[in-house]
A and B are shown apart, each in its own frame.
Chain A
Amino acid sequence: MTGIFRVAIIGSGPAGLSAAAHAAALGLAHILLEKTDHLSDTIFKYQKGKHVMATPANLVLRSDIDFEAGKRETILGRWDEQIAARKVNVKLNAEVLKVEGHKGAFRIALRSGEVVDAEAIVLAIGTQGNPNRLRCPGADSPLIQYQLDDPGEYFDEHITVIGSGDAGIENALGLAADPAQRNVVTILNRSADFARAKAANVALLEEAERDGRLIVRRETEPAEVRTRELLLNTRDGQETIRCDRIIARTGSQPPRGFVEAMGVEFSSPEPGSFPKLSPEFETTTPGIHVIGALAGYPLIKHCMNQGYDVIEFLAGNRDLKPADEPLLAEKFAQLPGNRSVAEWLDIFGRNIVVLGDLSVLQLRELMLDSAVHAYQPGEVIFRRNDPGSSMFAIAEGSVAVEVNPNDPSITVGIEQGSIFGEVGLISGRRRGATVRAAEPVVALELPRMAALKLLATSPGAARAVNSIAIERQLLQMFGAGLTRADVAPLVENAELKSVRAGQVVVAEGADDKDIYIIRSGSMIVEKQVGGRPVFLSYLPAGSYFGEMAVIDGSPRTATVKAAIKSEVIRVPGDGFLALLEQNPGLRDKALQQMSARRATNAFIESRKGEFSGAVDLYSQTAQFLVDNGIGEATDVLLIDEKLCIGCDNCERACADSHEGLSRLDREAGRTYAHLHVPTSCRHCEHPHCMADCPPNAIRRGPDGEVFIDETCIGCGNCQRNCPYGVIRMDAKPPKKPSLLQWMLLGKGPGPGEAPYGWRKSEAKKQGLPEAKLAVKCDMCAGIDGGPACVRACPTGAAIRVSPERFLTYTKLAEDTQ
């Protein structure tokens, strides 16, 4: 088909396929452009037999092609079949290089040199991006490939792997694994070490190098790809090696640059932000539409529905209600007033200040991810010390914050349109105060992910939340008795500073005069004693430091540095002094806290004289724990190896308390001075695992535990994102015979996690689903008595602690036995 198409759809994932299928059904002149030689590359690249989930379950699928949960092969097969049957105009191997023109006359240039003309464009290219290409002559050579599906299919070849990340190392090891393939494998690394890869992979690579199974060339770059040869730039000059195949694994380029080149604007410069879209998915460039993951919808069903919707809009249907309409109606039904979905959306969008910048589309999406509540006057919205990282926004009414825990009658009001609970969101810590409804309230509760997405996509919302958060943090830090007017000059001059782990904020001996509040993350305080740093204390988010130098004008008495990546608010010291002058009560409180801190420091310093060994041990143990992620933990399992008999009863109890899979590995992990940090969840303040969960299945529970709910789709993102390796992917094991049956009759595998073979064969026998889902510690939520690992330890070796309680001299140096 030639001539000008009504619509060109770029990308053949679920969104693009669905759009193309609907265009075909409506008889629109269309073309589906796919850069690879098969449809739906992202799902195509899933491992063989992977179970693909269909969430959210309550969302109706509106598409001309079918989709239900099942094996990768089944789904891809069905789509291939239906795309062929519906006579969709597909063009494979059609990588788009450039888009020119305007609405009604776009010219799409392909890598092959062809040009496709279309009136409108639907971009459904996802967020994976294109692999980085080699930047040297010969980068177009057919020798180069960017993916390695099966390392076992190459024989007798000289293969060069370029790239020093995990992907490159794993490919190189795979190619060299079987000497019977007789491949000569070389891996190139531009620098001298493999800093970006996992330590375990680097160790395997170095071992393979020692054994001569592959060649590692460090400080080497490709200079030119020739026919069956590769010219290298090495430290000692150029060199040519034989080369039959090149695997390039040098990362990938996010698609944002490609999209922005078409004139499409994004909502903010943040890496996580999405293109600005109209309710019809149209970008700021008329005629170009964005759907699917690139629009911020990573779930397959959403993508397919949008493919259908965008084509309806293009075909002129302006009255189409989005597929989520019934879900929203159901959500709003619990609110008083019998209003329609459109009316509620209008109220929330108009009244709540931080939602001002959102399009209707973004607002709907936000509503789907959030909860709406109605409260009666006096009703508690949340209590002090409740865990919670969600943020609330008041659509109607107002609330009262109990600022003094000892006297609930002292309250501060928050008015309609404003937000509250943002401290929990930003610091990841428990609620600082109880909040009640002051009049009838309709509020929106944005769960952490939805709130973070809002901040990333709406710069206005981010600014508003930031200044409110700084003000509230100041008020909370200095306690009751202060008003917003008191701290206004401080808020105005406050500056937000990001600090990376280990970075020094205040240096001992310096004479700067600022006060810092830890907004997120945590800090450690140390002091040079006898030429060595001594750990003095640990400061969690919400605490402040630097006040001593301000109050008495002395140089800094200790160094404060970030335990983990943190954010601090810097407040100029003179503003703080002025505030103290006006508020004698505050002054007394500050002096009191200062002398308490001085006493702690002096105590540890005095010990250093008499018990130097104990102080060194304390200092080094504290540093070791911080290095192992305790600084960002809220509740972490530690094992005292002076008591641990290695019985693994903790692991068995864990498995028996949770469907038969252990969520901890006692033996693995680091040890210092007999204190062992096993591989087990730290329930981080800002959980890394939550960062990229398509169904938002990872949440913080009522007891502060980070857990994965039943909507997990088994994608494995959380497992990859966890820096501590505490998440495993496994199928739910079959039920075991009871303990009594095992003890008396020897039936089943006994207490603890059943061996893999037993689980596999028994699951097959019982016909259980084999989908691998993410499994992690939930701190034994809902189980009487608390964490089973601790309760099941016969000797008291296993303890679960929080850093602010445990990283103290008494705990680390005096109570050990």
Chain B
Amino acid sequence: MTAGASRSRFREDETRRDSDHVSFLRHKRFRWAWAALALSLAAAAGYALIDQDPRPNGGSWYGYTLGTIGLGLILWLSLLGVRKRRINPGAWSLKAWTSAHVYLGLSLVVVGTLHTGFQIGWNVHSLAYVLMLLVIATGVYGVVAYTTLPARLSDNRREMTRAQMLDALTAIDRQLDGAAQPLARGEADLVLAALRQSPFAGGALARLTGRYPACQTARALAGMDTASEAQQRVRALLEKRAAQLAQIRGALRIQAALEVWLFLHITLTIALIAALSAHVISVFYYW
């Protein structure tokens, strides 16, 4: 590396080391929010001021312009998935991309709607429009999730990694196994059932809601007497197990909430691109 390159990296590094923790929403003082706002205002002003003949329509020259901008934006926005997985080469910042993705994506509501000229019907063109709105709606949920859930995820973690949470559960289970030896058959079976059940059992719905009606640990707790010392000991351990499970399930639930919308967002995007292809081809076919 030459001395000159090294010094420019030094300046770059010093700026970075001086950086604040600014979220993707406030990135560079809302640079992309302003850009999106400007785009929306310009599109709206054009819509209002340009005399479109016979009426505002996707087929007018202004309609084509808006359509092209919208299509370009949609294709570019969908590339975020690739960008995220390919960080080199190039000096990209994924935060800047996310910021642009969010605000320019929102501006599509304006650009797309004006492109329709408010003509909605039962056809592939309107299907594309509705799909676009759905994609944006799921995206808005994503933004809300990204701004509200991380603090809860962090609080729930209490400085433990996921592996440590599972290790803690294993440690409790080992103690439970030993402590349950003096119990009578019925109660021992309850403990065994709790130990045998995978902490992940319950399926997608349980994961998302955090409700595990078939939880054997809860069942064992309900069925455990506290007459003998052994029973008290097992009960205490079961309570510890339930608390540990609650932490693991809490982490799973928040993580699921942070990810589940992406399944819709991405699937709908693929559908949107398919519908858009049909829309564009049919428009040119019937030119």
Q: Tell me, yes or no, whether B88 is within 8 Å of chain A by CB.
A: yes
- B18 and A805 within 8 A (CB): yes
Q: Which of B108-116, B156-164, B215-223, B268-276 contacts A (4 or more CB under 8 A)?
A: B156-164
Q: In the complex the two chains form, what is the Cα distance from A670 to B27 in whole Å?
A: 26
What chain A residues lie within 8 Å of B154 (beta carbons)?
641-642, 644, 671, 674, 676
- B23 and A704 within 8 A (CB): no
Instruction: Point out the residue from B17, B24, B149, B163 that lies within 8 Å of A802, measured CB to CB.
Output: B17
- A643 and B13 within 8 A (CB): no
A324 to chain B, nearest CB (A): 29
If A385-B10, A800-B16 touch, whether A667 touches B161 (CB-CB below 8 Å) is: yes
Q: In the complex the two chains form, what is the Cα distance from A382 to B277 in whole Å?
A: 59
Q: Tell me, yes or no, whether B71 is within 8 Å of chain A by CB.
A: no
If A635-B17, A794-B84 touch, whether A671 touches B10 (CB-CB below 8 Å) is: no
A-B contact count (CB 8 A): 154
Instruction: Identify whether the interface residues of A are mostly helix, strand, loop, or mixed.
Output: loop
Instruction: Point out the residue from A646, A671, A791, A815 that lies within 8 Å of B92, measured CB to CB.
Output: A791
Q: Tell me, yes or no, whether B31 is within 8 Å of chain A by CB.
A: no
Q: Which residue of B lies closest to A640 (CB)?
A: B21
Q: Which of B93-101, B184-192, B199-207 contacts A (4 or more CB under 8 A)?
A: B93-101
Q: Tell me, yes or no, whether B282 is within 8 Å of chain A by CB.
A: no
Considering the complex, which residues of chain A in the window 794-817 have a beta carbon less than 8 Å from any beta carbon of chain B?
794-797, 799-802, 805-806, 811, 815-817
Q: Tell me, yes or no, whether B243 is within 8 Å of chain A by CB.
A: no
What chain B residues lie within 8 Å of A385 (beta carbons)?
7, 10
Q: Tell me, yes or no, whether B20 is within 8 Å of chain A by CB.
A: yes
Instruction: Point out the residue from A641, A644, A653, A786 that lies within 8 Å of B13, measured CB to CB.
Output: A786
Q: Which residue of A lies closest to B89 (CB)?
A: A784
User: Which among A635, A676, A784 has the highest number of chain B CB atoms within 10 Å?
Assistant: A784
Q: Tell me, yes or no, whether B151 is within 8 Å of chain A by CB.
A: yes
Kindly supply a per-residue 1/0 record for chain B positions 1-37, scoring 1 wherever the CB is within 8 Å of any chain A CB and 0 otherwise.
1010011011011001111111110110000000000
If A785-B91, A793-B94, A795-B98 touch, whether A702 touches B6 (CB-CB below 8 Å) is: yes
Instruction: Point out the residue from A653, A751, A795, A806 that lies within 8 Å of B146, measured CB to CB.
Output: A795
Q: Tell me, yes or no, whether A739 is within 8 Å of chain B by CB.
A: yes
- A383 and B3 within 8 A (CB): yes
Instruction: Point out the residue from A380, A657, A743, A795 that lies within 8 Å of B95, measured CB to CB.
Output: A795
- B19 and A799 within 8 A (CB): yes
Q: In the complex the two chains form, what is the Cα distance from A670 to B160 in whole Å?
A: 9
- A794 and B24 within 8 A (CB): yes
Q: In the complex the two chains form, what is the Cα distance from A237 to B168 in whole Å?
A: 37
- B171 and A788 within 8 A (CB): no
- B87 and A788 within 8 A (CB): yes
- B178 and A815 within 8 A (CB): no
What chain B residues lie within 8 Å of A783 (beta carbons)?
88
Q: Tell me, yes or no, whether B175 is within 8 Å of chain A by CB.
A: yes
What chain B residues lie within 8 Å of A186 (beta carbons)?
none
Q: Tell me, yes or no, whether A207 is within 8 Å of chain B by CB.
A: yes
Q: In the complex the two chains form, what is the Cα distance from A618 to B151 in whole Å?
A: 18
User: Which among B7, B85, B87, B94 has the highest number of chain A CB atoms within 10 Å?
Assistant: B87
- B12 and A786 within 8 A (CB): yes
- A793 and B159 within 8 A (CB): no
Q: In the complex the two chains form, what is the Cα distance from A649 to B80 in whole Å?
A: 13
Kindly supply a per-residue 1/0 record for chain A positions 642-657, scoring 1 wherever the CB is within 8 Å of any chain B CB and 0 otherwise.
1111110100110011
Instruction: Point out the residue from A668, A750, A788 that lies within 8 Å of B161, measured CB to CB.
Output: A668
If A794-B98, A817-B22 touch, whether A785 touches B151 (CB-CB below 8 Å) is: no
What chain B residues lie within 8 Å of A674 (beta carbons)?
151, 154
What chain B residues lie within 8 Å of A670 (beta carbons)?
159
- B149 and A645 within 8 A (CB): yes
- A704 and B13 within 8 A (CB): yes
Q: Which residue of B lies closest to A795 (CB)?
A: B24
Q: In the complex the two chains form, what is the Cα distance from A212 to B7 in whole Å?
A: 60
If A385-B10, A676-B154 touch, whether A796 touches B91 (CB-CB below 8 Å) is: no
Q: In the complex the two chains form, what is the Cα distance from A784 to B12 in whole Å?
A: 11
Instruction: Point out the residue from B9, B21, B84, B146 that lies within 8 Å of A799, measured CB to CB.
Output: B21
If A212-B178, A641-B150, A702-B6 touch, whether A796 touches B22 (CB-CB below 8 Å) is: yes
Instruction: Point out the residue from A656, A703, A791, A800 that lies within 8 Å of B6, measured CB to CB.
Output: A703
Q: Tell me, yes or no, whether B57 is within 8 Å of chain A by CB.
A: no
Instruction: Identify whether the interface residues of B are mostly helix, strand, loop, or mixed.
Output: helix
What chain B residues lie within 8 Å of A657 (beta carbons)?
87-88
Interface size counted on chain A using CB atoms at 8 A = 63
Q: Tell me, yes or no, whether B55 is within 8 Å of chain A by CB.
A: no
Q: Tell me, yes or no, whether B153 is within 8 Å of chain A by CB.
A: yes
Q: Tell me, yes or no, whether A782 is within 8 Å of chain B by CB.
A: yes
Instruction: Point out the residue from A668, A790, A795, A796 that lies within 8 Å of B16, measured CB to CB.
Output: A790
B120 to chain A, nearest CB (A): 34
Q: In the complex the two chains form, what is the Cα distance from A815 to B21 in whole Å?
A: 7
Kindly supply a per-residue 1/0 record for chain A positions 93-132, scoring 1 wherever the CB is within 8 Å of any chain B CB and 0 otherwise.
0000000000000000000000000000000000000000
Q: In the complex the two chains form, what is the Cα distance from A802 to B17 in whole Å?
A: 5
- B150 and A796 within 8 A (CB): no
Q: In the complex the two chains form, what is the Cα distance from A794 to B162 in whole Å?
A: 21
- B91 and A784 within 8 A (CB): yes
Q: Which residue of A lies closest to B174 (CB)?
A: A211
Q: Tell me, yes or no, whether B195 is within 8 Å of chain A by CB.
A: no
Q: Tell me, yes or no, whether B258 is within 8 Å of chain A by CB.
A: yes
Q: Which residue of A lies closest to B11 (CB)?
A: A385
Q: Tell me, yes or no, whether A210 is within 8 Å of chain B by CB.
A: yes
Instruction: Point out the residue from A739, A787, A797, A800 that lies within 8 Å of B86, measured CB to CB.
Output: A739
Q: Tell me, yes or no, whether A722 is within 8 Å of chain B by CB.
A: no
- B16 and A786 within 8 A (CB): yes
If A791-B92, A805-B18 touch, whether A211 touches B10 (CB-CB below 8 Å) is: no
- A751 and B21 within 8 A (CB): no
User: Which among A212, A642, A793 has the highest number of chain B CB atoms within 10 Å?
Assistant: A642
Q: Which residue of B lies closest to A815 (CB)?
A: B20
What chain B residues lie within 8 Å of A805 (beta carbons)?
17-18
- B21 and A796 within 8 A (CB): yes
Q: Tell me, yes or no, whether B255 is within 8 Å of chain A by CB.
A: yes
Instruction: Point out the residue from A383, A386, A796, A800 that lies within 8 Å of B17, measured CB to CB.
Output: A800
User: Which among A667, A751, A793, A795 has the highest number of chain B CB atoms within 10 Å?
Assistant: A795
What chain A residues lie within 8 Å of B121 (beta carbons)?
none
- B1 and A782 within 8 A (CB): yes
Q: Which residue of A lies closest to B1 (CB)?
A: A702
Q: Tell me, yes or no, whether B213 is within 8 Å of chain A by CB.
A: no
B97 to chain A, nearest CB (A): 8
Instruction: Point out the residue from A785, A802, A817 that lies within 8 Å of B21, measured CB to CB.
Output: A817
B257 to chain A, nearest CB (A): 10
What chain B residues lie within 8 Å of A644 (beta carbons)?
150, 153-154
Q: Which residue of B lies closest to A805 (CB)?
A: B18
Q: In the complex the two chains form, what is the Cα distance from A782 to B89 in whole Å?
A: 11
Instruction: Point out the residue from B19, B23, B87, B258 that lies within 8 Å of A792, measured CB to CB.
Output: B87
A322 to chain B, nearest CB (A): 34
- A793 and B20 within 8 A (CB): no
What chain B residues lie within 8 Å of A703 (beta carbons)?
6, 9-10, 13
A110 to chain B, nearest CB (A): 49
Q: Tell me, yes or no, whether B54 is within 8 Å of chain A by CB.
A: no
What chain A residues lie within 8 Å of B95 (beta carbons)?
791, 793-796
Q: Tell me, yes or no, whether B72 is within 8 Å of chain A by CB.
A: no
Q: Which residue of B lies closest to A203 (CB)?
A: B171
What chain B residues lie within 8 Å of A207 (beta carbons)?
171
Q: Which residue of A lies closest to B171 (CB)?
A: A207
What are 10 A-B residue pairs whose CB atoms fall within 8 Å in the complex? Answer: A207-B171, A386-B6, A642-B150, A644-B154, A657-B88, A751-B86, A786-B16, A795-B95, A799-B20, A817-B21
- Identify the B interface with A (CB < 8 A): 1, 3, 6-7, 9-10, 12-13, 16-24, 26-27, 82, 84-95, 97-98, 146, 149-151, 153-154, 157, 159, 161-163, 171, 174-175, 178, 255, 258
With A647-B258, A788-B87, A795-B24 given, name 19 new contacts (CB 8 A).
A211-B178, A635-B13, A644-B153, A644-B154, A645-B150, A646-B255, A649-B84, A649-B94, A656-B86, A665-B161, A669-B159, A670-B159, A674-B151, A702-B1, A702-B6, A743-B85, A791-B95, A797-B21, A815-B20
Closest 3 CB pairs of A and B: A785-B91, A641-B154, A667-B161
